[in-house]
């Protein structure tokens, strides 16, 4: 059975990981959330005191980057439980503290080089769905299917707000909106691997699509490619 690489990029909170997980499950592929890897490095930097909202000791982070061990493990039917140096951090990396600092960490070329190397290793046997910002442009430029996801900032803020409040985090709608739009700006304007649409990516604007409609549409794309 032919296996392909599916690269999903796009703005934050467009539902990339929901779609990627659905596809991975339907196709029995590996799912990798590359954003979680940047978040894990950010959490490491926070815990080591290398970064805060006032300072960022980039040299300290870079010289310790080899000490950051990131692993995804399958637990029950959750394929993406994230471990940072053997400690389970799946929820911690989603908090506002990490969210507010992750763009700074993701802008460091050395951090990107290390993570991209890991990501390519994960995809060496294909049969993988990876989501992020540079998957179709940098990590897997030869991916058979590239999807660029987008939705209005208002729709995305509502989704993130609902996700955080469901977890019991006290958040303000405007703060979430500000976080999402400022990350869009930083992700799209950074010098190294900015978020851009690959020339051969298919655009998926899901502001008006249900999850099922979106999944069915993408499975049609996948099946067409697999039949070629
Ligand atoms: O997808 P996310 O919101 O969890 O990503 C967290 C941050 O990491 C986001 O600000 C963009 C950055 N990122 C990146 O630069 N490259 C990737 N491949 C994935 C995420």
Predicted local confidence at residue 183, as pLDDT: 87
Which of 78, 88, 84 has its CA nearest to residue 38? 84
Domains of the chain with bracketed CATH:
5-227 (3.40.50.300)
Find the angle CA(7)-CA(205)-CA(33) to the nearest 5 degrees. Answer: 35
Ligand 1 atom 2, closest CA: 35
Atom of ligand 1 nearest to the CA of 119: 18
- Residue 70: partners with Cβ closer than 8 Å, 6 or more residues away: 37, 40, 41, 82, 83, 84, 118
Query: pLDDT digits over 90-100, tens only?
Result: 999 998 899 99
Query: pLDDT digits over 24-61, tens only?
Result: 999 999 999 999 999 999 999 999 999 999 999 999 99
**Which residue blocks in 131-228 are alpha helix, DSSP H?**
153-166, 173-189, 211-227
CA–centroid distance, residue 38 to ligand 1 (Å):
6
Name residue 56's beta-bridge partners. 51
CA–centroid distance, residue 146 to ligand 1 (Å):
17
- Asked whether the predicted pLDDT for residue 79 surpasses 80, the reply is no
What distance in Å separates the CA atoms of residue 22 and residue 175, rounded to the nearest whole number?
29
Ligand 1 atom 13, closest CA: 35
Query: pLDDT digits over 120-165, tens only?
Result: 999 999 999 999 999 999 999 999 999 999 999 999 999 999 989 9
pTM: predicted TM-score of the whole model, two decimal places: 0.91
CA–centroid distance, residue 2 to ligand 1 (Å):
29
Phi, psi of 218 (to 5 degrees): -70, -35
Q: Which carries the bigger pLDDT value, residue 167 or residue 38?
A: 38
Measured from CB, residues less than 6 Å from any atom of ligand 1 are 12, 34-35, 38-39, 102-103, 106, 132-135, 183, 187
Predicted local confidence at residue 74, as pLDDT: 83
């Amino acid at each position: 059975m032919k296996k392909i690489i599916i690269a999903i990029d796009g703005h934050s909170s467009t539902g990339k990981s929901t779609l990627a997980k659905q596809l991975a499950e339907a196709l029995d592929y590996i799912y990798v959330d590359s954003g979680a890897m940047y978040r894990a490095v950010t959490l490491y930097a926070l815990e080591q005191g290398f970064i805060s909202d006032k300072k960022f000791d980039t040299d300290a982070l870079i010289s310790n980057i080899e000490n950051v061990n990131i692993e995804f493990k399958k637990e029950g039917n959750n394929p993406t439980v994230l471990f940072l140096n053997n400690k389970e951090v799946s929820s911690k990396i989603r908090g506002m503290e990490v969210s507010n600092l992750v763009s700074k960490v993701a802008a460091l070329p050395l951090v990107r080089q290390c993570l991209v190397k890991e990501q390519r290793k994960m995809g060496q046997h294909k049969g993988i769905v990876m989501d992020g910002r540079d998957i179709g442009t940098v990590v897997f430029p030869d991916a058979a299917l590239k999807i660029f996801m987008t939705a209005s900032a208002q729709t995305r803020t509502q989704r993130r707000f609902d996700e955080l409040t469901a977890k019991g985090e006290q958040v303000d709608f405007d703060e979430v909106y500000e976080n999402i739009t400022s990350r869009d700006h930083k992700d799209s304007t950074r010098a190294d691997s900015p978020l851009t649409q690959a020339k051969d990516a298919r655009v998926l604007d899901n502001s008006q699509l249900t999850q099922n409609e979106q999944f069915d549409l993408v499975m049609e794309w996948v099946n067409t490619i697999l039949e070629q």
